[in-house]
Structure 1
Amino acid sequence: MEHVKSYYAATANPHAPWPQLQDSIQCDVCVIGGGFTGLSSALFLSEAGHDVVVLEAAKVGFGASGRNGGQVVNSYSRDVDVIEQRYGKESASLLGSMMFEGASVIRDRIDRYAIECDYRPGGIFAALNKRQMHHLAEQQKRWQQYGNTGLKMLDEAGIRREVASDRYVGGLLDKHGGHLHPLNLALGEAEAIRRHGGRIYEQSEVTSVTYGNLHQIVTAKGRVTAKFVIFAGNAYLAPHLEPRITRMSIPCGSQIVTTEPLSADRALALLPNNRCVEDCNYLLDYFRLTADNRLLYGGGVVYGAREPEDIDALIRPKLLKTFPQLHGIKFDYSWSGNFLLTLSRMPQVGRLDNGVYYIQGDSGHGVTFTHLAGKLVNEALGGKPQRFDAFAKLPHLPFPGGRRFRVPLTAIGAAWYSLRDRLGV
């Protein structure tokens, strides 16, 4: 399988290919999945001296890591106040202390390995009503308490200076957020793994895993024997490989379009300071400029990872509601990709059998959390599991209704929250 026909695939940096696994090999750690979760884990582990093998069913960055909106958004899909309400002050304190670390890891990777991925600082949470502005003001207080000094509230005039749209009543600017070309980040991290002696195999879908003192990971043409295994496939992990974790989440699709190139003046007239933006709705819209002055716009959720028939029909009304001045604009690229949603909207990490780890379910905050997660699993394998365990001890609940009913039940719940968004309550 090749990358989907997206803007990112069309503008990917040149790179040497990775082979298909066709032998029986051994390693310390076998990582299943070549997206951000697997790459971050493999890079931290290879830097620490572990012999690492990454098995990717398609291409590096094939899934959400190479298709997402490219926004570096801090925290988790549930903020630290919800974490405290659900899991207590100790969990909130531990997880809160890490909620800006993923973005720092990304910036460090870009600098350390000179990864060309068009990183630009600054992200905006845009409010569509007074209720959302109140929530952003509370979010600013919480994030400042945990050390984020790069926050600025924007009133109506302030957000007009950032976004040429009359939809928003204000917003919150996070200078420690930002945006980038995610597929090029993934490719750059894969090259860094190669430099540290790690081995990556593409077109090497795992067909079975047998646990033991040494674990056996089998592909169509090869086999890996490993002391440790990390499941990092997220929404693209085959359900039969490890039902204990795939039953706890649901793949969901999001859609993105990229316009034809705009003139520099026209592009910066839309987003004068080149920030990325996401609104505060439950089913949110998100957008930003690309390095070649296109508007990249995404939104909506398709539960159960079904491919929509007409992405243009889904996204164009959203885009024009935000930027009516782009009426008649041509879309050069449109695509869909899946992310993994959990019932709690918190990521799921943990251990299964001896030396078997899993990381999944970032619920829309995968760009940053995956990079933190790689650091945490490296710490755990290095004998310092405390921070990994802060996430592992969170309850990981299956969706109600089992495989048959979890999609419609989740869609019903989302419809309720979407109605609340429209009513502003």
Structure 2
Amino acid sequence: MSAHASILKAGPAPVQALGQPGSTTHAPSYYAASGLPQPERPPLQGRVEADVCIIGAGYTGLSSALHLAEAGFKVVVLEAARVGWGASGRNGGQLVHSYSRDMDVIEARHGQDAARALGRMAFEGAEIIKARIARYGIDCHFRPGGVFAAITDKQVHQLEHHKALWERYGHTQLELRDGRQSEAAIGSRRYKATLLDHSTGHVHPLRLAQGEAAAFEALGGVIHELSAVTRIERGEPAVVHAGRGQVKARFVIVACNAYIGDLEPQLAARSMPCGTQVIATEPLGERFPEILPTEQCVEDCNFLLDYFRLSADRRLVYGGGVIYGARDPAHIESIIRPKMLKTFPQLKDVRIDYAWTGNFLLTLTRLPEVGRLASNIYYSQGCSGHGVTFTHLIGRVLAEVIQGQSERFDAFASLPHYPFPGGRLLRVPFTALGAAYYDLRDKLGL
């Protein structure tokens, strides 16, 4: 069966929704309307025991759970809402290598040893995802090829630097294309050059999460949905309290990211939830054959970047913008449609069927925060916009440290973490002011 035939029928639902903390239903996104059928996963009841209890059934939690289950561990996952309810089921679906701060910044700030250690892992996440899809037959509409697109001459030079930097760290599947080649590949005259990464691609993100959950459960793993964790009782073993139940576990992984709330205040104080907005058009059919004929995904090089791709049924999924502090905008379409029309003016009369928002977690350094809350309690958070691939990498790394292999975990845990200036009260205006500065530079081509 073709990908177009296998996708679930999804009618228009132009709602702003939002699936905020307290809600347990998926945001009314295109992804939720076209996800995989899901089994009942009842809330936690009573007292159970496990080798590992994981808090959160997004990519970080599911990746960790699957690696541990493959290694023979008894794992219980607790999810406050539904599998893939947060950013894992709402994002742009693009497999982007490295970190939100690239290897040259890591070299400059943290030294060559740290850069070498992180550089050896920078391209691993996408390979884990592709291997998972192949091994477990996950029907998440994977398409190969990811494109970085330059709008200004300065950004063209940035692409050249980007290519040389990644090649220095061993990644050689990159192809620089000029403006004419870029227009032919994207269907837009907006870009002066593009950098194609042949090793990446894009997926239906919620289906990926749902498929990984099914693979984990097939190995004997247990997921309890509607099981919001209220307290982690330190000790060996630890006890995780959720609703009417508790999980006693030798190890705990906190994998909540932007939806951690007040569960662990010291983690919340070092990060800031941010909202990003996405729309999906009606199916384009064959009306616009020039738009993404190779079906590769694209993100531009602006500080506040746009990203877009075609879905399996040829909708244009277009996202961008950042709302610092994760406030939900009232009219998502009015924010994103003008961005889409700058890229594809020919879509001026195309209907928008879906509009949604979701939160990712930003850190001050823009690097992920990984560490221990106790000797047997681990956490990872703050992917800062590079979550699809990093979460899959860190899931493997967390599984390794639980099995006694700490070298790769320590490479991340040794990075310094800082609170936002001004604390939780002023972090939003300070960060928004800085972002406005860089956004103005992009618009002026500086």
Smaller-chain TM-score bracket: over 0.9
Report deviation, 1:163: 1.2
What secondary structure sits across from 1:422 in the alignment?
A: helix
Mapped to 2, the partners of 1:45 and 1:344 lie a distance apart of 29
Spell out the pairing of 1:381-420 with structure 2 (5 A cutoff).
381-420=402-441
How far off is 1:212 after superposition? 1.1
Query: Is 2:39 the counterpart of 1:23?
Result: no
Q: Which runs of 5+ in 1 are unaligned?
A: none
| 1:280-319 equivalences in 2 (<5 Å) | 280-319=301-340
What is the identity, as a one-letter code, of the residue corresponding to 1:30? Answer: C
Residue 93 of structure 2 is matched in structure 1 by: 70
Which residue in the other structure is 1:90 paired with?
113
| 1:162 counterpart SS class | helix
Mapped pair 1:99 → 2:122: yes
Matched, 1:256 2:278: yes
How far, CA to CA, are the matches of 1:241 and 1:216 in structure 2? 14
User: In structure 2, the residue corresponding to 1:262 is in which secondary structure?
Assistant: coil
Tell me the number of residue pairs that the alignment of Structure 1 and Structure 2 aligns: 423
Moved over 4 A (4+): none
Q: Tell me if structure 1 keeps the 8 A contact 2:184–2:290.
A: no
The 5 Å alignment of 1:141-180 reads: 141-180=164-203
Letter in 1 for 2:191: Y
Q: What RMSD in Å do the two structures reach over aligned CA positions?
A: 0.8
**In structure 1, distance between residues paired with 2:417 and 2:199:** 30
Q: Is the CA contact 2:93–2:203 (under 8 Å) kept in the aligned structure 1?
A: yes
Q: Which amino acid aligns with 2:224?
A: Y
The reply to whether residue 189 of structure 1 matches residue 235 of structure 2 is no
SS of residue matched to 2:244 = coil
Q: Secondary structure at the match of 1:363?
A: coil
Query: How far has the Cα of 1:265 moved from its partner?
Result: 5.0
Task: Note the C-alpha offset of 1:213.
Answer: 1.7
Equivalent-residue separation in structure 1 for 2:36 and 2:373 (angstroms)? 37
The 2-side partners of 1:405 and 1:265 are apart by 48
Please tell me whether residue 339 in structure 1 is matched to residue 363 in structure 2: no
Q: TM-score, normalised by structure 1?
A: 0.98
C-alpha distance in 2, partners of 1:229/1:353? Answer: 9
Deviations 1:258-310 (A, max 9, x none): 000111352x4111111100000000000000000100000000000111010
State the identity %.
56
1:142 Cα shift? 1.4
Aligned residue identity for 2:171: N
CA shift for structure 1 position 330 = 0.6
| Structure 1: distance between partners of 2:370 and 2:37 | 33
Specify which of 328, 332, 335 is matched with residue 349 of structure 2: 328
Q: Distance in 1 between matches of 2:237 and 2:401?
A: 18
In structure 1, C-alpha distance between the alignment counterparts of 2:313 and 2:204, rounded to whole Å: 11
- Distance in 2 (CA, whole Å) between partners of 1:246 and 1:376 is 22
Q: Distance in 1 between matches of 2:205 and 2:286?
A: 22
- SS state at 1:15 partner: coil
Q: Which runs of 5+ in 2 are unaligned?
A: 1-23
- Following TM superposition, by how much is the alpha carbon of 1:406 offset from its aligned partner in structure 2, in angstroms? 0.6
Instruction: Name the SS of the counterpart of 1:357 in structure 2.
Output: strand
Residue 17 of structure 2 corresponds to: none
What SS is found at the alignment partner of 1:270?
Answer: coil
Query: Would you say the 8 A contact 2:45–2:244 is kept in 1?
Result: yes
The offset of 1:15, in angstroms, is 2.5
Partner of 1:216: 239
TM-score, normalised with respect to structure 2: 0.94
SS of 1:404's partner is helix
